[in-house]
Structure 1
């Protein structure tokens, strides 16, 4: 039997605080979502000025990254390269860059999804959050 690390609430708060700091430093109005390895929402934070739609997109990006154990950009690129049939895949809807898997020792602990600015900037915010816990 294997042992696996899990996100604790203290980790989630640390990730969220660092992601928020990155967004505020750049004056980006975004929504930040953090999910566990099953894609279940642990944190949702919509910063002032973030579009209401971003509160749906950020968790979807995180969900996709967690379930697949890959950053959501992988799927955006896949679709953009012509694999449009992937749009019919079940249980995934956040197929845009900005969902970043939280990986430790080859295991997925969850993911951070961000929405509200350019997709590459969303991913930058998510990575800044994850870096705060040393991953």
Structure 2
């Protein structure tokens, strides 16, 4: 099962609303279960360098079916996934990428957010993902 465009747009809308609420500017990427980009939003004046990061966060979360922040914990020196960020054409292993699940708890895609602190990136991404539940 894959996320639909309508669902992806709902994720974007919820993430943008959360970014506005916390007074930040974000890049928001939504990928389907196969990691194909379905929807993207670049809020006015958000960092250009974060466009690629948002997309990589979404793909990273889906590649390994876990939030990017969790992958980051495992990829520290001495960790079981040390240096994993060099695989798959480059991964992002800090918070801001989360899975999107449907009402049956099936993974249908992922959202990646970048543009502020990793804590705020994760908060905004989670708000987007929660719009589908």
TM-score when normalising by structure 1? 0.87
Q: Does structure 1 retain, via aligned residues, the 8 Å contact 2:26–2:43?
A: yes
Contact 2:53 2:114 in 1 (8 A): yes
Report how far residue 87 of structure 1 moved. 3.3
TM score, norm. by length of structure 2: 0.88
**Which runs of 4 or more aligned residues in structure 1 lie more than 4 Å from their structure 2 counterparts after TM superposition?**
none
Instruction: Give secondary structure in 1 for the equivalent of 2:132.
Output: coil
User: Distance between the aligned counterparts of 1:110 and 1:121, measured in 2?
Assistant: 20
Provide the aligned length of Structure 1 versus Structure 2.
130
Aligned residue for 2:118?
A: 119
Q: Is the 8 A contact 1:6 1:109 kept in 2?
A: yes
Unaligned 5+ segments in structure 2 are: none
Q: 1:100 aligns with which of 88, 98, 101?
A: 98
SS of the residue corresponding to residue 111 of structure 1 reads strand
Q: Is the 8 A contact 1:113 1:126 kept in 2?
A: yes
Matched, 1:68 2:64: yes
Distance 1:22 1:102 in 2: 16
Q: Unpaired segments of 5 or more residues in structure 1?
A: none
In 2, distance between residues paired with 1:10 and 1:87? 31
How far does the alpha carbon of each residue in 1:86-113 deviate from its partner, in whole angstroms, 9 at most, with x for none?
Answer: 2343355121210001124353211000
Q: Distance in 1 between matches of 2:89 and 2:99?
A: 16
Could you say what the CA RMSD is over the residues aligned between the two structures, in angstroms?
Answer: 1.6
8 A contact 2:29–2:113 mirrored in 1: yes
Counterpart-to-counterpart distance in 2, 1:85 and 1:10 = 36
1:90 aligns with: 88
Q: For residues 26 and 39 of structure 1, do their structure 2 counterparts lie closer, same or farther at Cα, with a shift above 3 Å needed?
A: same
